[in-house]
Amino acid sequence: MDNIFLDTPFKDKDKVKALGARWDPALRKWYVPEGTDLQAFAAWLPAAEAAALPAALPAAVPARLVPGRVATDLALPGRGISLSQLLGGVAQAVSQSFTAGVWTLVEVLDARLRGGHVYVEVSERDAAGTVLAKAGAVIWASTAGRILPEFERATGAKLGPGIKLLVRARPVFKPQYGFSLEIDAIDPDYTLGDLEARKREIRNRLRQEQLFDANRLLPPPWDFNQVLVLAPQGAAGLGDFRAEAQRLERFGLCRFRYAFSRFQGEGAAAEIRQALLAALGQGAVATAFDAVVIIRGGGAVNDLAWLNDYALARCLCELAIPVLTGIGHERDSTVLDEVANQCFDTPSKVVLGIEQLIAKRAAEAKAHFHQIARSAGASLQSSRRAIDQADAAVRSGAQRQLALARQRVAERIAALRAGSWQAIQRASDASRTLSVEVRAEARQSLRAARAGSQVALATVLERAALDARQAGALLDRQRSDVATGARRSLVEARTRSQALLREIAGQGPEKTLARGFALVRDADGRTITRAAQAGPQQTLEITFRDGSLAARTRGATGTQDP
């Protein structure tokens, strides 16, 4: 029998090839090799060959492969069919049972691109993750070029492991390759709904446990000194982050510690959680970080979907330090972004946010320094004016006291001189009076003696002479005592005057402070001379010989805090 050529549309070329057809490059047509059963190619045979096919299956084809037929016993001696004939019957049965595709829910286990065609392994799992069904599927190049770009634009996802799809698939059985599904359409709305449903379930569980806002409501870091960064090893986003972070580390502004983990694929969320907890440690190690930064570069929606994990999201919610995320690009969003304390569009923007806060705190510190410097300068000027005024007042008071002391010394010296002259005068008057009395007494005695005996006269004369000598000596002693007393009084007055002058001259603030005294003023510059003048919790300034110190009184009056 000569080769029979088929009327095969381009879209069916893989089907006829799978059934055993061969390609004639000269005629550019598919043909059925001699000896091959034509029944499997009925859909593509020319009208004449199709009409010539028998109404019933040839005896060589098992009747049990045709729906509704009762199987016959083929175990008779000398009877049998080839494997290609058997599988061809299966292929025909499958083809007749599924003439069009059926919308089917599948989960992608693996996807590979080869020769423009996309070969996919799909499955169905139960709630416990047990595989209930598994099959191979293919999206031919002509179909893939049409439906995959549309699917990616609608969902932002790429065909890859873990993604759930609603596909239109037609079962196909090929004798050479076995059973497979041919996918010719994908519903993007189902995939989007599945991804969103997964995030919605995580949100609801965290809200029921009152954990969803736990980390978001933590006060943001006041400043950054040490940060833990969790990222995939060698990721492009990590390189951008490190380039900026190293600048901050070089100037000693912030230190970064890095931990690494897979961010996609089965079990990635558990690895991220374990890496995070191991890096944080416990106790003082955990509290040493100001924040945790979680970053990765952009990717397809289903690549990022591995991060939409309840256990991982709960772990971030329960952290006692703020979490900052920079996952993907501006359009990307995960549950981790929603529960984090702060969310940034990209990894670079995370480190930029850290830098901006550090710069803000530095600017505030600089402004506060200038404000303190201005306040200190104003206080210094005020203190200097107060000191100058106090110094002028002390000098003026000292000069007044000195003038008053000089006046008092002059008055005392004048009074002393007057008193001395008066004493001398009184002594002189007393001496003259005593001399007159002595002489009078002597004359009386002389007259009495003359009236008496000559012996008595001598005695009287002797006694008179003795009394005269004693009176003269007494007068000399009294004069000497008066002069000595006057001189002593003058010396004492001069000594007291000099001491008073020295005391007055030493009343200046510098000499007073040099002798161990201190000058106490309140916040307004007023001098505090008594403990009762200082109220509780009052700021004081104490000036010593070599500088000043600030002090604050305690609750009780007159006690001070250093």
The CATH homologous superfamily for domain 212-345 is Response regulator (3.40.50.2300)
CATH of 102-186, one of 2.60.40.1120, 2.40.50.140, 2.70.70.10, 1.20.1440.130: 2.40.50.140
- Interatomic CA distance for residues 523 and 389, integer angstroms: 16
pLDDT-derived band at 226 (thresholds 50, 70, 90) equals very high
Can you give the pTM of this predicted structure?
0.47
Residue 83, amino acid: L
Cβ-Cβ contacts under 8 Å for 35 (sequence gap 6 or more) = 1
pLDDT at 18: 72
pLDDT-derived band at 140 (thresholds 50, 70, 90) equals very high
Q: What percent of the chain has pLDDT over 70?
A: 87
- Interatomic CA distance for residues 541 and 354, integer angstroms: 42
pLDDT at 102: 86
Nearest partner of 44 among 6, 12, 93, 88, judged by Cα: 6
The first and second tokens of residue 396, run together, are 């003026």
What are the residue ranges spanned by the domains of the chain?
Answer: 4-97, 102-186, 212-345, 361-507, 519-561
Half-sphere exposure of 196 (CA within 13 A, CB side): 8
- Interatomic CA distance for residues 129 and 132, integer angstroms: 9
pLDDT-derived band at 395 (thresholds 50, 70, 90) equals confident
pLDDT at 325: 93
Residue with tokens 């203190």: 383
pLDDT at 284: 46
What is the β-pairing status of strands 22-24 and 29-32?
Answer: antiparallel
The mean of the pLDDT values for the chain is: 81
Question: Is the model's pLDDT at 285 over the cut of 60?
Answer: no
pLDDT at 540: 86
- Interatomic CA distance for residues 274 and 529, integer angstroms: 69
What is the β-pairing status of strands 117-125 and 131-139?
Answer: antiparallel
Distance of CA 161 to the CA centre of its chain: 38
Distance of CA 326 to the CA centre of its chain: 17
